[in-house]
A and B are shown apart, each in its own frame.
Chain A
Amino acid sequence: QSALTQPPSASGSPGQSVTISCTGTSSDVGANNYVSWYQQHPGKAPRLMMYEVSKRPSGVPDRFSGSKSGNTASLTVSGLQPDDEADYYCCSYAGNNNLEFGTGTKVTVL
């Protein structure tokens, strides 16, 4: 069991879209729909942004969307805003009652 792979960084200008990938294996991301995404601002606790691949918790703007294809899940942020600048982490059920987080992606709003 090892951390899911995310790109270290991603960026976009205000109003543009950015997509973050989360690559696992057929034992975790590819095996179920229990993929979640978290946003973390510096010095703050993570905030749930997406669960079960594409479900948004109450209060999360519909600018955030999630999807999955095979062993890779993705989080897309549309209409980038300055407050979207943060670290983003994916998390997947990895079987045998285990969870695995991704390596994290720093999103910069240019």
Chain B
Amino acid sequence: QLQLQESGPGLVKPPETLSLTCTVSGGSIISSGYYWGWIRQPPGKGLEWIGSCYYTGRPYYHPSLKSRVTISVDTSKNQFSLKLTSVTAADTAVYYCAGPDFYYFDHWGQGTLVTVSS
């Protein structure tokens, strides 16, 4: 059974870079056909897909965030990561990692709250 766990700073200052890592256990991140994604949820608001990355490293991003986002896979550590540059208060959210399909997410991390504040 796949398990995902997010990790990273809970507080980021604007306009720095938000960096999170998702550790996958119970399975290999490089299994054929697996995609790994990031979704966020601002406090009291809905879900927003940030982007997904194929296990070989080919990433896809939401058009509204494309200029600021990088998602990558570290196969040696069974991890994938999210970097979001030039953050503002609007990027304050619970960030979830999820997978392993591109079109839907049946395994989720517990989520981690990232607050953007000086």
Contacts and interface: CB of A to CB of B under 8 A. Distances in A.
Interface of A: 1, 3, 34, 36, 38, 40, 45-48, 51-52, 57, 89, 91, 93, 97-104
Interface string B74-118: 000000000000000000000010000111111011110000000
Interface string B48-79: 11001000000010111000000000000000
B104 to A, nearest CB: 4
B47 interface: yes
B62 to A, nearest CB: 6
Given A34-B103, A99-B103, A45 B108 contact: yes
The 3 closest A-B pairs by CB, nearest first: A36-B104, A97-B60, A34-B103
A46 B108 CA distance: 7
B104 A100 contact: no
A34 B35 CA distance: 15
B46 interface: yes
A57 B100 CA distance: 14
B6 to A, nearest CB: 10
Contacts of B96: 45-46
B46 A48 contact: no
